Amino acid sequence: MPEQLAGASAAVPAPARGSLLFAGFNSVQLAVLFGGYDKVLRSTGLTYSEYARQGFWQLLWVTLLTLAVIALALRWAPRSGAADRRLVRGVLGTLCALTLVVVASALRRMDLYVDAYGLTRLRVSVAAMELWLGLVIVLIMAAGVFGARWLPRAVVGSAAAATLAFGLMSPDAVVAEKNTVRFSETGKIDLAYFRFLSADAVPALDRLPEPQRSCALRGINDELARAGQVPWYGMSLDGYRARKILDDRPVTVPYQVCHRLGAFGSRSE
């Protein structure tokens, strides 16, 4: 038994060292999760957007590194004995668990960024990608317990399901809803961004008070007007709802007022 453990220990030094490195890296990530966000920003001089982007790229590279370490360990680590298999599973499981801390940190960074500047399509897409990478790590951990034959199909299936769900949830509607709630809570809103949203955003933006409502809807209203009358078979349900809302409660605020509120400024992502 001592010889088996010694052999197994010698066979997985790289994954073990990787886990130790991840543990050190995660000590910084935990500061974000437990309220050290402002302190980290002050000490690094990073902006909110730079820090959120940094979190995404850290997560992406950490995930790729984890997959590479797992592939190498499964290829080269001896698994002839029960002790070997337990040690390999333990080390790789620890590595995956530490990677999930990076996932949580990246999501927290994005959440704080959205609180500061609002939600956009790009930020929704990044958060969705971060969640999917976390799901992939969880699937890998499950494969370590139940076997890996099903893992490639599960990863591909999860990617297809995530893409379908992303389309069905209507990102523009989510963006409009989140920013409407944010305005009611903080009084802050990026009216210029709404010019680029689709008709899906109209029901949520319709709940804004005037003059913000008209300024937020003006770009969508102009786009629908340029499109002209659309036959019923060429109109989506969201398009129909948007046209009905704008017909019932037209955009009334003059361009000059919207310009003063920043509705025609630069686009933010």
pTM (whole model) above 0.75:
yes
> Which domain-ending residue is among 141, 168, 195?
168
Q: Which of 168, 198, 219 is the last residue of a domain?
A: 168
Retrieve residue 199's tokens. 């008709």
Structural tokens at position 263: 């509705």
Same-domain pairing of 158 and 175:
no
Composition of the chain by helix, strand, coil, percent to 5 = 80, 0, 20
**Is 124 a member of any domain?**
yes
DSSP string, 28-40: HHHHHHTT-HHHH
Calculate the alpha carbon distances from 193 to 106, 170, 172, 250, 262 in Å: 24, 16, 11, 20, 10
The verdict on 110 and 226 lying in the same domain is: no
* CA–CA gap between residue 211 and residue 258 (Å, rounded): 8
Q: Into how many domains does the chain fold? A: 2
Cα dihedral 101, 106, 107, 113, rounded to 10, equals 150
For residues 153 and 223, membership in a common domain is answered with no
Which residue, among 200, 194, 203, 176, has the nearest Cα to 263 in the 3D structure?
Answer: 194
| Tens digits of pLDDT across the chain (269 residues) | 444 444 444 444 555 555 556 666 666 566 666 655 666 666 667 777 777 777 788 778 888 888 887 777 766 666 666 776 777 777 788 888 888 888 888 888 888 888 888 899 999 999 999 999 999 999 998 988 887 789 889 999 999 999 999 988 889 999 999 999 999 999 999 999 998 899 999 999 999 999 999 999 999 999 888 877 777 666 788 888 999 999 999 998 888 898 888 877 655 55
Angle, helix 48-76 to helix 121-146, in steps of 10 degrees = 20
- Integer CA distances (angstroms), 203 to 58, 174, 177, 227, 243, in order: 36, 11, 9, 19, 10
Domain holding 214, by residue range, is 171-260
Residue 37: the pLDDT is 61
**Are residues 36 and 159 located together in one domain of the fold?**
yes
For residue 74, the SS3 value is helix
CA distance 91 to 23: 12
Comparing CA positions, the residue from 202, 220, 225, 218 lying closest to residue 261 is: 218
Separation of alpha carbons 18 and 142, rounded Å: 20
pLDDT of residue 65: 81
Q: Is residue 267 one of the residues assigned to a domain?
A: no
pLDDT at residue 3 in the model: 46
Which tokens go with 223? 């786009």
* C-beta of residue 178 within 8 angstroms of C-beta of residue 124: no
pLDDT at position 7: 46
185 lies in the same domain as 208: yes
Question: 87: which 2 tokens?
Answer: 């040690």
Query: In terms of domains, do 26 and 141 share one?
Result: yes
Domain match, 163 and 182 both: no
